[in-house]
Structure 1
Amino acid sequence: MLHYNINPEYKSLIKEFRDIKTWFHKEGTTIYKIRNEIKIIEIDRLRLCVKSFGRPNIINKFVYAWLRKSKAQRSFINSEKLLKLGIETPEPIAWLEFRDRFGFITHSYYISLYQEHAFTFEGVFGKDLAAREDIIRDFAHYAWEQLHLKGVEHLDLGQGNILVRPHAERWHFSLVDTNRMRFNRKKLRRRGFVNLRRLGGSPIEMSMLANYYAEAKNKNPFWGIIQLSFYKLRFQTLRSLRKAITKPFIYLLPAH
């Protein structure tokens, strides 16, 4: 059974979307494929970014059936919220879910317009890029002024989820992979550094980021460097510990 929601401006595409299981694996160009697969596909002269989510494990099957919206739904809803706040993200087109007779998701997709960009933030850290410091500075101001000051927390704010493109005065940024987000997070005005902990720059690059972020907040740069260093070290330590604990049990959860 198909469940979906489509942006009213693109309702003419619903016929094609209904057959997505048929054409997704045949059409387009894959740009990412690990747990999920992302493809660039052209339909009716529109360049679309189509994300096929991997099938949930046995626990999440029950969660998405009755307790929580799917990743596809949340991607669509959160992208709409971002745009309403004036925060760039690729325009959401539709989400689609196929469920079996028990209500469990078998296939799910999120579709957005493809957004042109120069590179992701992965092309900034550790790269011999002339504008590297300018990009880091502009992103630090963006993180404070456009995200944290507005109470927006992207829970997967890693390099691959930040699109970067040049602009006349400042570098511009756009967020993708929006299924895990929080809004109205007033405490981010005090603890915004914690949301930058997933970024994987060198110690010098992270210090640069912390310095410019503190500058955007009119705070002490040295204290900013200490805070970001602490949150990043804590994040890395807890992640390593979690992997060590869960590794013996990971094989108990089927991939599909």
Structure 2
Amino acid sequence: MYKWIRLSKAKRSFNYASRLIDCDISTPFPIAYIEETSVFGLKNSYYISEHIDYDFEFRALIHNPKFPDRELLLKQFAEFTFNLHQNNINFLDHSPGNTLILKTDKGYKFYLIDLNRMRFENMTFDKRMHNFRRMWLSKTMIKVIAKKYAELYNKPYQEIHEVMLKHSMAFQHKINRKKLRRSGRKMQFGTK
């Protein structure tokens, strides 16, 4: 399918990285992609990018409520994501492990990785809020991000907070239900 109908993950990652850089959104610089094919189609594909010596992933902010500069980082993350949305970029894998953070003399710099799932489309208000759902944000984190996003988007804080919270909680409940079902099956059928 990838050889004839759809671009490989590696080629998509390369193209999307170039597009992000054109929009002044940080991602490791794309160097090349390699595709191994046969008469039957794509066998393997590889994406090669610059190595970023980052300080931590966004995930660190979730697991440590007392993380240094946490509130500042959340506000800057809101700005970073707002910039994505303003450029009509819907990063479908916008999740804690796909945002690398580098501390610089001027503050913090955010880098997106794992780029092969993206849409370039008009980012409506609901799509913008929906795009935060995979970040696994706590209610406290949502308050900080929603407040900053509301300032940038020129929309009432309460409206941003309500919709962002709705999407985030729905996603977390969905994942937790799946985990519960899986653990229930293991208990019911046993694993030997």
Give the 3-state SS of the residue equivalent to 2:54 in structure 1.
Answer: coil
Q: Could you tell me whether the CA contact under 8 Å between 1:138 and 1:170 is conserved in 2?
A: no
Q: Could you tell me whether the CA contact under 8 Å between 1:126 and 1:202 is conserved in 2?
A: no
Q: Could you tell me whether the CA contact under 8 Å between 2:90 and 2:123 is conserved in 1?
A: no
Q: 1:108 is aligned with what amino acid? A: S
How big is the shift at 1:239? Answer: 5.3
Q: Which residue of 1 aligns with 2:154?
A: 218
- Cα 1:236/1:201, change in 2 over 3 Å: closer
Residue deviations 1:181-214 (CA, integer Å, cap 9, x gap): 112x223456411111110122211222222211
Q: 1:161 is aligned with what amino acid? A: N
Q: Could you tell me whether the CA contact under 8 Å between 1:149 and 1:189 is conserved in 2?
A: no
Q: Could you tell me whether the CA contact under 8 Å between 1:157 and 1:196 is conserved in 2?
A: yes
C-alpha distance in structure 2 between counterparts of 1:189 and 1:101, whole Å: 45
Q: 2:68 is aligned with what amino acid? A: A
How big is the shift at 1:240? Answer: 6.3
Aligned with residue 166 of structure 2, among 211, 230, 236 = 230
Give the 3-state SS of the residue equivalent to 2:134 in structure 1.
Answer: coil
Quote the RMSD (CA, aligned, Å).
2.3
C-alpha distance in structure 1 between counterparts of 2:30 and 2:46, whole Å: 12
Q: Which residue of 2 aligns with 1:70?
A: 8
Q: Could you tell me whether the CA contact under 8 Å between 1:79 and 1:92 is conserved in 2?
A: yes
Q: Which residue of 2 aligns with 1:150?
A: 87
C-alpha distance in structure 1 between counterparts of 2:166 and 2:137, whole Å: 15
Matches within 5 A, 1:191-210: 191-210=127-146
C-alpha distance in structure 1 between counterparts of 2:108 and 2:125, whole Å: 23
Normalised by the length of structure 1, the TM-score is 0.64
**How many corresponding residue pairs?**
181
Aligned with residue 112 of structure 2, among 175, 179, 190 = 175
Q: Could you tell me whether the CA contact under 8 Å between 2:99 and 2:111 is conserved in 1?
A: yes
Where does structure 1 lack aligned partners over 5 or more consecutive residues?
1-62, 249-256
1:102 and 2:40 aligned: yes
Matches within 5 A, 1:6-85: 63-85=1-23
C-alpha distance in structure 2 between counterparts of 1:130 and 1:242, whole Å: 33
Q: Could you tell me whether the CA contact under 8 Å between 1:154 and 1:182 is conserved in 2?
A: yes
- Cα 1:71/1:199, change in 2 over 3 Å: same
Aligned with residue 139 of structure 1, among 77, 82, 85 = 77
Q: Which residue of 1 aligns with 2:189?
A: none
How big is the shift at 1:106? Answer: 2.2
1:88 and 2:26 aligned: yes
Which 4+ residue blocks in structure 1 deviate beyond 6 angstroms?
Answer: 240-244
How big is the shift at 1:241? Answer: 7.2
C-alpha distance in structure 1 between counterparts of 2:176 and 2:54, whole Å: 33
Q: 2:90 is aligned with what amino acid? A: E
Where does structure 2 lack aligned partners over 5 or more consecutive residues?
186-192
Q: Could you tell me whether the CA contact under 8 Å between 1:94 and 1:112 is conserved in 2?
A: yes
